[in-house]
Amino acid sequence: MSSTYFDAASAFPLHPAASQALAAALADGWADPSKLYSASRRARQLLDASREAVAAVVGARPDEINFTANGTQAAHAAVLGGLRGRARAGDVLVHSAIEHSAVLHAAEAHERDGGRAVPVGVDRAGRVDAGAFAEAVSAPGVALAALISASHEAGTVQPVGAVAEMCAEAGVPLFVDAAQSATWPGGVPSGWSLLSLSARKWGGPPGVGVLGVRRGTRWESPWPSDANETGAPGAVNLPSVVAAAASLRAAAGEAAELAERLRSLTALVREQVPLLVPDVEVVGDPDERLPHLVTFSCLYVDGEAILSALDREGFAVSSGSSCTSSTLRPSHVLEAMGVLSHGNVRLSLHRGVTAGDVDRFLRVLPGIVARLREESGVTGL
């Protein structure tokens, strides 16, 4: 059976623009862009053009854009570098309880070094409590705040603009992880001081992250001094960077039309799954959400069992947190929301998904859940 891929929130299928740009850049962008000979100058032109392309999409200056080895590295650098740069202001990191695991791990590292991390809770829709966030960033000793632009688990869009205003009033820089929202309508919200993106979230090649540092933001590299042309350690993977920039520009250009189509498909899933499967909770805000993502949880059944059964039927989906499902632990995002965290299924669609794919999923799912519940001794629902 051919596989239907429903896990674009983890990695979007490679955009055609990325494939074309990567092939061209492999022939033209192999040289060290820091040297002075002609091949190097050509490589430097490609690097500069990639910076300009990314900057245009995210609303930044080219010299505010840096390329890293992946989105996780960019998030680590944003948090740890932002805290180091603001060490004189304090040692407190304020963050939402539903940040990407990369941010939470950076917060843990900060605490091991003697700093403090203050999580701010969310409501049942997965939206951060803006009032509590404002109170937290206004406290003495806050060096940095972090807020994901849209939940990678439930899809809820966060009030980044309002929070950014609160942070500005408190004199605290705001780091925004915009990996999931970068190419959707609304894109990268304004007000950020530090920014992280991941190329594979929009159809770029894996192994490219983006770290944005606004001019005037105090940021000190957490890495040793042997940095590449964009500030990260080691040589920059220039062909992949070129492909990432080209695919970001292409994906942003088609975002409005794609978002409208995928939103109608995820709305169908949100509507039909509770009608077809008893004891199901669809999570996340029904309106203020990413257009391509829908998450629901099934009572009395294990999420990994659903995942495996759907895989046998030709569907690739995610269960649990997008970054912690391999640990078989409940999603920290769903737990923070106070919703059902077991029996969790996340669908995230891409440009190749059709209405027929979604219809087949809705036909297959009820039988899978019923069988798994029966095998567990749960009947009569």
Cβ atoms of 195 and 176 within 8 Å: the answer is: yes
Active site residue ranges: 323
Both tokens of 105, joined, read 């791990």
How far is 55 from 213, CA to CA, in rounded Å? Answer: 11
How far is 311 from 66, CA to CA, in rounded Å? Answer: 38
Enclosing H/E stretch for 174 = strand 174-177
DSSP letters for 149-162: SB-TTT-BBP-HHH
How far is 51 from 66, CA to CA, in rounded Å? Answer: 7
- Backbone phi and psi for residue 183, each to the nearest 5 degrees, phi listed first: -105, 10
DSSP category for residue 7: B
Enclosing H/E stretch for 105 = helix 101-112
Cβ atoms of 212 and 66 within 8 Å: the answer is: yes
At residue 227, the 3 state secondary structure works out as strand
CA-based nearest residue to 75, from 135, 133, 144, 9: 144
Cα distance between the two ends of the chain: 30
How far is 312 from 291, CA to CA, in rounded Å? Answer: 27
Cβ atoms of 294 and 268 within 8 Å: the answer is: no
- In which region does residue 216 sit, left (phi positive, over 0), alpha (psi from -120 to 50) or beta (all else)? left
How far is 53 from 69, CA to CA, in rounded Å? Answer: 18
Partners of 348 in beta bridges: 7, 293
Burial 77-108 (b: 16+ CB within 10 A, else e): bbbbbbbbbbeebbbbbbbbbbbbbbbbbbbe
At residue 75, the 3 state secondary structure works out as helix
